[in-house]
Structure 1
Amino acid sequence: MTQIDFGLVLAQPFFLCSLILFAAGWFISFVATCVIGNLIPLLWVDIFYNLFLLLGATLAVATNAVHNYRLVLLTFIAGSLTLLFVCIDGTIGAHNWSNVSRFSAAAAGFIFQSFVLIFWVVYFGAEEESLAKQTINGFTMPRANANANDNPTTVGPTTIVSPQPQHHQINMNGHGSPMPAHAQQQQVNGQQNYSSVVVAPTADYAYKARALYSYEANPEDNNELSFTKGEILEIVDNKGKWWQARKPDGSVGIAPSNYLQLI
């Protein structure tokens, strides 16, 4: 079962700020619509529609399922923007009604929400490799366990998967998959990056990381871990070229750090 982790929301300042603005705009329009009553029934349709959109977007980020529901979210955002523009036009044009201030308050709340949704079109719709998404991801804050030390820690006796630690190399071909262009920067002047990692299943997984690219483990090395783009891995330590990682299914191994992004 997919776990809900609101730390994923807190780790993304851009989305968190937009979520707060959207919630504030929704609350203003909700209070104003309660005062207006049934004079404009369409306002209530938009209120409940945007409430479900607010909850859906939050859960998609909190469960790291944005890549699975991206098209669904964009479709609902398009429908919400249409409703919002109609409601804004209806409330601003309600100058013939008594107590115009309540209609102005509702319009202000709807305008707030529309601005946020325009940003969400970029946030949910842009590809990971796009400049806009890379800029947004650049403000992602890594989350560390408060009890984690600078070095990987273990609980109880350490169990070594391989009797001899092996050296792992990231090259132009990768291990079963090509290396992304930006990852090749870690190879300078043809020199090879080596890192010895001893896999300890009982280690303290203090970090989480999102896979930026899919990776296929070397079949000749049982220590390596395969994963797919967008998958969330638990990480022991964020130092070195290879990180000890654990997948949601419990499998443990090492993964190339330039394929991962801390969240």
Structure 2
Amino acid sequence: MDLFRAQPKYSISIAVSLVRHALIQIAVILDFIGICIAQSALPYEKVNPLGLGWYFFFVYLLWTLILTCTIYFQTLSTYNSLLTQLTTLALAFLPFDLNGSLQGSTSRDNSFSAGNGIRVAALVILVFPLIIVFILLGSGEKSFVHTHMIPNFEIKLREKSVSVVNPPSPELPKIPMDQFKEPIYSEIKVSIPDGTLNTTVNTTEKPNSQVTTLPRRRYANVRNSKLRDEDMVTEFKAKAMYSYAANDEDPNEVSFDENEILEVLESAGKWWQVIKFEKDGTFTVGIAPSNYLKKIDG
């Protein structure tokens, strides 16, 4: 386990947490040993004076098992409410249990006295981790107690251990940017009725960026209306495994949503030339990271 090496600033938090869990387990084991010794001194009692003691012990045991399981299976946030209620219940029972054990430790019966003495030691040990867990569960993650005084090792461990599937990071294209041209502007002549000062006006019209995204390779700077049929021959269809937002600084990239189907014009390299068809019948030709796409049949 490399948490001490990977997260040195949490080393104190981890050490405190390990000590806390060790104290909980030691306390529960001692409580069980003590109550068994005390019970052995009362074999023929019709009314068991340790009945409540056994009940309290099983509450502590249940609390310990649930706490351990939620930490081990990284489900602490899921069962936070249940664990908080059990911690509150155990804290409420502990003073009564401790008082009964103190009275039993003064008994003239050596076995009964020794067993209750062990239980007193166990309950004194148990009260500290109970209070720590109670404060920890009752404090928000951004509170001072949660982040400074009692760092939450369980949440740090869960965040480190849980496996989260994230989309892979696309690799930057290796084609030099100076090889790309600026958008080609079409020159439109507008006729003016007779009698006006000017008879012809030259204007410049940019292609609609929402319809055509400039691709990076052999289709660069070509509007969708000018693509020839032989240019539209696709290799295959690809399905987007993740959503991808195009880089605003690179007009050649196309954005797409997860599970969207794209037509692949060229699949060489780590950036594929694709066609994205819009609902209104228009399309966008551009590049997309290949590790976001998966080839599909048909």
TM-score norm. by structure 1 comes to: 0.49
Name which structure has the greater RCO, CA cutoff 8 Å, separation 6+: 1
Which structure has the bigger radius of gyration? 2
